[in-house]
Structure 1
Amino acid sequence: MSRGDADGRTGPRDGRDETEDERADRKWGELIQEVRVAQTGVQILFGFLLTVVFTPHYQRLGTTDHTIYIVTVVLGACATGALIGPVSFHRVVSGRRIKPQAVRWASRLTFVGLVLLLATMTSALLLVLRAATHDAYVPWLVAAVLVWYLVCWYGLPIWARYRHTGD
């Protein structure tokens, strides 16, 4: 059996015997599980960020730190929107028989959301470390954590994909 047979089943090339709709259902379930993890993190971080402006310490921050805070909040809002987007997308198109396309768009939204979450976490770390200490090593520490995020979130998965699938 090969990919694209008349019955819509996929072939042994991918190791599964499922229709396009079955594959879309499986991928949707996997994607939603991944989104749940990221949503929880971004919502907690975003909620915390929203409270910072109401603390007395915020008023004592300099212009640069205020700017970093505003950028961080906007990044957090954008990440929240992108990571909640797949749920709304599914709800709006549900029952329209376009699940494979919906899965592709939801996957793209999730990827964008993860990139925005990466930027939000890095920016928040910069803000917190600048407020906690004004030492010159703060940018270097933040850069090291950013590299760690990049390795964990993108480097290792890309390496594994290439190593085990060749693409």
Structure 2
Amino acid sequence: MDAAQQRPGETPSERADRNWNELMQELRVMQTGTQILTGFLLAVAFQPRFADLDAVQRTLYVVLVLLAASATVLALAPVGMHRLLFQQNRKIELVRMANRLVKANLVVIGAVTVGVVALILDVTLSRPAAVGAAATGVVVILLLWVGVPVLLRRGTE
């Protein structure tokens, strides 16, 4: 049974509470990974080799920092919304919006992850290695985050 589906005997309010709790657990995992990547990116600018980056690498670095900051904001948005809507009986709407934000954040985190790998390989190996790894990363993410769930959904229908 899909988490969003109502369980037997479960009220819409109870389902919203359950789905909210599941979303919060997912956000905890996402936030940890985002914090690690953001910390890595922030530290890079203060390393001696940062001055050796070429224009493409610097541009990629800046884009990655902005994406990492966006991921942090997206991960914290449901919590901020919850604080503003607390005790206003808006949990069902809050869960819907938080679900959208989590999906958007997955896209951003996927982009940051692929981009960080590309930047590291571009600096340490070569640009072709970085492009190849980035392309592979995108394919793997799409397969695991989209393809597998679609296959699982088909298997239960």
For residues 1-167 of structure 1, the aligned pairs below 5 Å read: 14-134=6-126, 136-165=128-157
The one-letter code of the counterpart of 2:155 is: R
> TM-score scaled by structure 2?
0.92
Higher RCO by CA contacts (8 Å cutoff, separation 6 or greater): 2
Give the deviation of 1:135 after TM superposition: 5.4
Question: Aligned with 1:47: secondary structure?
Answer: helix
Question: Aligned with 2:128: secondary structure?
Answer: coil
Question: Aligned with 2:126: secondary structure?
Answer: coil
Larger radius of gyration: 1
Q: Identity of aligned pairs, percent?
A: 38
Give the count of matched residue pairs.
153
Give the deviation of 1:141 after TM superposition: 2.2
Structure-2 separation of matches of 1:164 and 1:155: 15
Structure-2 separation of matches of 1:89 and 1:47: 25
Distance 1:135 1:76, change over 3 A: closer
The one-letter code of the counterpart of 2:67 is: L
Any unmatched runs of 5+ in structure 1? 1-12
Q: Which structure's residues are more often helix, by fraction?
A: 2
Structure-2 separation of matches of 1:135 and 1:54: 22
Structure-1 separation of matches of 2:64 and 2:93: 32
Any unmatched runs of 5+ in structure 2? none
Cα shift readout 1:69-113 (whole Å, capped 9, x = no counterpart)? 001111111111111111111111110101000000111111111
Cα shift readout 1:23-59 (whole Å, capped 9, x = no counterpart)? 1000001111111111110111111111111111111
